[in-house]
Amino acid sequence: MRINRESLLVYAVTDRKWLNGQTVARQVEEAIIGGATFIQLREKQLHYDDFLTEAIQVKKVTDCYNIPFVINDQVDIAIACDADGVHIGQDDLPVHSVRSLIGPYKILGVSAQTVEQAMAAEQAGADYLGVGAMFPTSTKQDAERVSFETLKQICEAVSIPVVAIGGITEQNVSLLSGSGIAGVAVISALFAQNDIKEAAKRFTKLSKQMVNV
């Protein structure tokens, strides 16, 4: 599966912190029904077998709705479950190495905080960039903040689409208008809400307004 700008409008990143008795797969389906256009499975604590089992369950959902599905960091899991791709950070394997491992047709997302990192990632084979943190975030408290101006400069410097991430909420997403991003990556704005589907509906509407300004 390849991606375009539209498929990155509402990029949902999972977090089992807010499962509340549900499965990750069920929450993912709720987010997709509400309007999420891209799913990233993010697990920092699960052992390999449990992670792979969960990844297979989530992939069944994303396949059903024809939604792009990537694994955060774990290239081996992405390959084993035949995910659509993988998203890596600056401290993971080099971009060109990951591209070699997953092949030319899988999606490769890369986190970037500077124009230099963004340009290097694109040159090494990234399909899209995740840039942030834009706002304070409880998910990754040590994340470096990225200014609006840097976000805009990154969008202007690369030809691949960019999603903003980090502390993005219904209340502040409009502040990213005019940056040039294709969409926003959100975690708690969807999965910490009592009604994930309705939260996704609201966020989809706000994101469309933001990118079209």
Instruction: Please state the residue numbers annotated as binding site for Mg(2+).
Output: 73, 92
Phi, psi of 64 (to 5 degrees): -60, -35
- In the annotation, is 179 catalytic? no
CB 164 within 8 A of CB 152: no
205 is catalytic: no
Q: Is 42 a catalytic residue?
A: yes
Q: Which residues are annotated as a binding site?
A: 40-44, 72-73, 92, 111, 137-140, 167, 187-188
Strands 128-131 and 38-41: unpaired
In the chain, the amino acid numbered 76 is: D
List the catalytic residue out of 140, 152, 202, 208.
Answer: 140
Q: Which of 42, 59, 99, 106 is catalytic?
A: 42
In DSSP notation, 195-208 reads -HHHHHHHHHHHHH
Q: Could you give the C-alpha distances from 107 to 99, 132, 140, 146, 165, in angstroms and in order?
A: 9, 20, 23, 24, 18
Q: Would you give the distance in Å from CA 75 to the centre of its chain? A: 15
Catalytic residue among 59, 99, 111, 207: 111
What are the residues whose beta carbons fall under 8 Å from the beta carbon of 94, sequence distance 6 or more?
124
CB 210 within 8 A of CB 174: yes
Q: How many CB atoms lie within 10 A of CB 92?
A: 17
What is d(CA 56, CA 6) in angstroms, rounded to the nearest whole number?
25
Catalytic residues: 42, 111, 140
